[in-house]
Structure 1
Amino acid sequence: MPSAPSERPLFLDPNLNIIFSVTLLAVLGVSSIAPVFPTVARELGVSPEAVGLLITVFTMPGILLTPFFGILADRFGRKKVLVPALLLFSLAGSSCSLARDFEVLLLLRFLQGVGAASLGSLNATLIGDLFTGRRRTEAMGYNASVLSIGTAVYPSLGGALAALGWYVPFALPIVGLAVAFAVLFRLDSVEVEPGNGLGRYLRDALAGMKNRKVIGLYLVSVMTFIVLYGAYTTFIPLHLSERFGSTAFAIGLIMSVGSLSTAITASGLRYLARHTTSERLITYAFALYGVSFAAIPMLPGHWLVALPVALFGVAQGMNYPVVMSLLAGLAPTEHRAIFMSANGMVLRVGQTLGPLIMAAVFAWGGMARVFHVAAGICIAMFLSLPLLIGRK
């Protein structure tokens, strides 16, 4: 049942803390290994374009499986989907640290991606189930801050662990076994009933998703993740390594700046919301994305790249939690998991296409062109969003 208001600060709520741990695992699969991409490419003898497949094969299962897991979670319960997913994520992910062949590594990353497919949507579904009204918005903001803290810490942690061996950061998912235990035995969850039959459930859910604003928010998600996982996560580390000779640890520190600025922005989101609407916050975020990408290839030193990375983080803090909160509010309880899982699916589409698109751009025009194309995508979204989601 939804948590009732209490004197205790919301971020100390035991259920929310367990959800935070799921969120931290959901971003572990990419953030902790991104700084070692240049090293992986050298050690395993693959090209910079090919190393992006470590993201692609990880995110690809989510394109098809995330909605399926959402249906199961709506029909049979959140825990019955989440616990097996956590176990697979942890065991397949930590096994990557044992791989010394790129093809084997890709296979294990694919299996880890199957486990990861539901994590990023079911955490938001659980927040929607357990909290209502302003507490739900506040919880989404805290969850986004925790996510960003994870993405801030993980690159530095991964870069530091890489000093012991490029494969060591791949062992980190083993901590997910403890999270699975906490979800199974400690987490409260909303009881669900199968209801009026699968056909009726699907028809009602699809009817709700045809809402123009819902479709617009899904488009925001896919475009955000194309530039996030294409230009930002994959090619900023490669740019720093190739142009400036940056070490994995330095790359991790620079990438962490963006995550920290996301965490700060998301934690203060309720103050920004007093001065403008949620829809405008998303629109402004894409303008900031565009400026940050345009600036990256012009800067003469690697530490200066931390400035547009920080600006990107501010934009992400304005964008991601607002999109999730709007979607959770638009979704009825009986369809919330499929609504959020459909968003998870489009996120995976963006994660999967982003490295492929930007690798093609890199092959065509070089590193600077990657950031120019990403900036163009963001400015196009800035101009289009008032029509897609309104201004309210």
Structure 2
Amino acid sequence: MGVSSIAPALPKMANVLDVSNERIGLLITAFTIPGMFLTPFLGVFADRIGRKVILVPSLFIFGIAGTACAFATDFTWLLILRFLQGVGGASLGALNVTLIGDLYEGNRRATAMGYNGSVLSVGTAAYPAIGGGLALLGWFYPFFLTLIAIPVGLIVLTKLDNPEPDNHKNIKSYLGDILKALKSRTVIGLFAANFLTFIILYGGYLTYFPILLDEQFSKSSLIIGIMLSGSSLITAFASSQLGNLTKRFAESTLIITAAILYLGVFLSIPFIENIWLFALPIIVFGFAQGINIPSILNLLTHQAPKEYRAAFLSVNWTIIRSGQAVGPFLLGLVYGATGLNGTFWISALAAFCLFLVASLAIKS
């Protein structure tokens, strides 16, 4: 929600707030930066004092700061509020996956990760369309969607019954165990894969693909949102099949396949001149997302015992946030230097690097 609901409105925000296309991606970067620094500390606290103690306040901050963005009067204030919203969102993704890891094992965990990916993708599918439609009323309306985080926080507080870690290790032993696990070649490879994946997603796809549709095809924020939603629906379907797919294919094979598909998508986008022909890369991108991200998360969760799972996955979430922040910023520089097509060439290069990482460093 923090990104996908506003992505279709970015061109309109740039227009209304008189911000260049190179700078508008900072709205995504400002949201993702807090996660780069706060998430590991929040993960440690979640292991030491409990998951819900961190999760509930995070949901409240996310909802309140996100809604406040709608009342920002200039770009600077909007960036500040997006940063605060990012503080609230810093722990949400990591704790979500941590709780799944706490509750499920084996193939049931792979299936649960797939269903989680499906739910996220349905949200990612719905939010661009909803956000794009709301942006027709005004650039600020998509931010009101974050209000839903407040009742969700209340439900988690009163209804969620989850196992909490019984962590009696001293902090030195606890941190030593985490560092030992993080040195694994497979873990490092998985972190690199996530970093590259989110550079591709947040840079090439969610930031500069909408700008392409606006600049070269003059599509409204609603149409852009619907097009982005199409790939997310495919992602939801592919993710829901992860349990079945992992019975036949190793997760590393699925990640390699996704990298090849990403490469094809971004090599093709600059050559498409008919708006309807974007259907194929949108479908292919969605399928790649659906088999890639849940596979990475399932492999990482398998590497981390419950006693330090939140901290371990929080480091991964920091890697994800780094990719989310670097992607729009890096491609903004590329856009300024080479133009729009250059952003897609760099995204294709990132996909090729993902292929190399998955082939050489990741083992299921």
Q: TM-score, normalised by structure 2?
A: 0.98
1:173 alignment counterpart = 146
2:184 alignment counterpart = 211
- For residue 210 of structure 2, what is the amino acid of its counterpart? P
2:119 alignment counterpart = 146
1:87 alignment counterpart = 60
Conserved 8 A contact 2:39-2:90: yes
Selected match of 1:251 from 224, 241, 261:
224
Instruction: Measure how far apart 1:106 and its partner are.
Output: 0.5
Selected match of 1:348 from 308, 321, 333:
321
Instruction: Measure how far apart 1:35 and its partner are.
Output: 0.4
Instruction: Measure how far apart 1:272 and its partner are.
Output: 2.4
Selected match of 2:194 from 215, 221, 228:
221
Take 1:84 and 1:380, find their aligned partners in 2: how far apart are those partners?
Answer: 37
Take 2:56 and 2:214, find their aligned partners in 1: how far apart are those partners?
Answer: 38
Selected match of 1:157 from 130, 135, 153:
130
SS at match of 2:164: coil
Tell me, yes or no, if structure 1 residue 270 matches structure 2 residue 233.
Answer: no
Conserved 8 A contact 1:258-1:309: yes
Deviant stretches of 4+, over 3 Å: none
2:174 alignment counterpart = 201
Count of aligned pairs between the two proteins: 364
Instruction: Measure how far apart 1:104 and its partner are.
Output: 0.5
Instruction: Measure how far apart 1:83 and its partner are.
Output: 0.4
Alignment of 1:53-202 (within 5 A): 53-202=26-175
- For residue 289 of structure 1, what is the amino acid of its counterpart? Y
Conserved 8 A contact 2:121-2:233: yes
Take 2:300 and 2:354, find their aligned partners in 1: how far apart are those partners?
Answer: 19
- For residue 318 of structure 1, what is the amino acid of its counterpart? I
Conserved 8 A contact 2:38-2:90: yes
Conserved 8 A contact 1:76-1:193: no
Tell me, yes or no, if structure 1 residue 328 matches structure 2 residue 297.
Answer: no
What percentage of residue pairs aligned between the two structures are identical?
48
Selected match of 2:12 from 39, 53, 57:
39
- For residue 259 of structure 2, what is the amino acid of its counterpart? F
Selected match of 1:381 from 354, 358, 363:
354
Conserved 8 A contact 1:66-1:341: yes
SS at match of 1:192: coil
Offset from partner CA, 1:281-300 (integer Å, 9 cap, x none): 10110000010111111111
- For residue 82 of structure 1, what is the amino acid of its counterpart? L
Quick one: higher RCO (CA 8 Å, sep 6+), 1 or 2?
Answer: 2
- For residue 228 of structure 1, what is the amino acid of its counterpart? L
- For residue 239 of structure 2, what is the amino acid of its counterpart? A
Instruction: Measure how far apart 1:185 and its partner are.
Output: 0.7
Conserved 8 A contact 1:222-1:350: yes
Offset from partner CA, 1:308-358 (integer Å, 9 cap, x none): 121111101110001111111110110100111111000000001000111
Structure 2 gaps of 5+ residues are none
Take 2:287 and 2:164, find their aligned partners in 1: how far apart are those partners?
Answer: 37
- For residue 381 of structure 1, what is the amino acid of its counterpart? L
1:316 alignment counterpart = 289
Conserved 8 A contact 2:233-2:286: yes
Instruction: Measure how far apart 1:194 and its partner are.
Output: 4.1
Conserved 8 A contact 1:255-1:306: no
Conserved 8 A contact 2:108-2:243: no
Selected match of 1:292 from 265, 282, 303:
265
1:7 alignment counterpart = none
SS at match of 2:248: coil
Structure 1 gaps of 5+ residues are 1-27
- For residue 174 of structure 2, what is the amino acid of its counterpart? Y
Q: TM-score, normalised by structure 1?
A: 0.91
SS at match of 1:189: coil
Conserved 8 A contact 2:114-2:240: yes
Take 1:31 and 1:191, find their aligned partners in 2: how far apart are those partners?
Answer: 31
- For residue 174 of structure 1, what is the amino acid of its counterpart? L
